[in-house]
Amino acid sequence: MRSAYPDPVMQDYVLFTNTMWSQAPRLRHQVSRLIAGAGHRVTFFERPLHAAASVDRAPREVEPRIRVVSTSELLHHQLRLVAPLQSMNAAFVSRQISASLPADVDRDRCNIVNFRYDYAFLRQAFPANRLLTIIHDDFEAQCRFPVRTHITRALAATCRASDAVFVVSTPLQRRLSAWCQPQLFLPWSVVPYRAPNPAMSARQDLLFWGYVDTAVDLELVCRLAATLRESGGGRVLLVGPTEKLHRRVRIQQRLRTESNIEVRDRTDLDDLPLDTLLGAILPYVRSESVNAVTLANKSMQLLARGLPLMISAMPDFVKMPFVLRMDGEQPLDHVLQACRQGFAGWQDSIRAFVEANSPETRLKALGIPVDTEPNV
């Protein structure tokens, strides 16, 4: 690495993402809050707008020690099919970054945290700086074109240009090892473990907390709801946003046949009826991007409330006693019964897992010094 900046004083971290700050919190937001909570300052470059769009370059403070900056790009990342288009866009975005970087950030000493698979040019833009890249999705699998060589080329160049590369799953770790030595960087618990109410008599409901969208296996959710009714009662709560209104309407129409499924808008976990929950469900359909998941982003928040996880797809998901598969050989009623029987006995293991995946462990992995007690 070029410079570790070991002094435990306030440092500047500049993050480059393909996410709007206003979107539902994802890993990019969590890393920003992790760094700010450790006593440092974050400049969050959100997803660039089209070059023709009007951009307000003034940084805006969204949270203590976190500022958001907007820029433009020439072409959507999936449209840069050949190297000249990638080079033209890189030159354009580099100028945008130079014009938008806040004046009080020392360009030669700030730390760079990159969430973009196609930003190899950051090495030239910040030649003396520490450059960390976090690959958080299977971008090749998500490409909408049958030919993906331009995605692979950009991903390989970005990995080689970085001082360190982190990945959020073991499949991505295997994939990127052709170009670098990627380190596993799983989600962490943003809140400490809290022992749930031990009373099991009221625990009948199942919670999905996340994007209620196309990745959710609605057929599995309906089978779960039917199994709950047949085994004594309980609801399936689907809580979270949907990217587009017409999808939300379609989802609600499909689930209308099940009387014990309730769809709610985005709600904080602690505002939900946690004492009625038997467990949290992650009922995903199989796809290349879903199959790359080792630990879903929301998993640690659910576990911190003492909720076992019931999952589908994601063959490389962490193997723990409190993680049950809904798409294995066991019928769903057996899975539910195992969750009822194991709920109390798993709590010590859940607590240990949450404590082993703390903010401090992720700060250490990224090599970020702590100036104050982490406030995340």
- Identify the pLDDT of residue 147: 52
Nearest to 172 by CA among 159, 182, 162: 182
List beta partners, residue 263: 238
Taking the CA atoms of 341, 345, 349 and 352 in sequence, report the sign of the dihedral they define.
positive
Please answer whether residues 81 and 152 qualify as being in contact, where contact means their C-beta atoms are separated by less than 8 angstroms.
no
Torsion of CA 34, 370, 159, 83, to 10 degrees: 70
Residue 116: the pLDDT is: 93
**Residue 239 corresponds to which amino acid?**
V
CB 94 within 8 A of CB 51: no
| Cα distance between the two ends of the chain | 27
| Sheet with strand 66-69: strands edge to edge | 60-63, 66-69, 41-45, 12-16, 111-114, 131-135, 164-167, 183-184
> What is the number of alpha carbons within 13 Å of residue 71 lying toward its C-beta?
27
pLDDT at 301 over 60: yes
Q: Give, as one character, the DSSP assignment of residue 93.
A: H
Is it the case that residue 291 has pLDDT exceeding 90? no
Domains of the chain with bracketed CATH: 12-188+358-366 (3.40.50.2000), 205-354 (3.40.50.2000)
Q: Give the pLDDT band (50/70/90) at residue 338.
A: very high
Enter the pTM of the model: 0.83
Is residue 4 scored above 60 in pLDDT?
no
Angle at 176 between CA 18 and CA 24, to 5 degrees: 25
| pLDDT at site 77 | 62
Q: pLDDT tens digits for 124-164?
A: 999 999 999 999 886 666 655 555 687 899 999 999 999 99
* Whole-number Å distance between alpha carbons of 73 and 77: 9
- Residue bearing the bigger pLDDT, 6 or 126: 126
| Three-class secondary structure of residue 122 per DSSP | helix
Among 150-159, 211-220, 266-275, where is mean pLDDT lowest? 150-159
Task: State both tokens at 196.
Answer: 């749930």
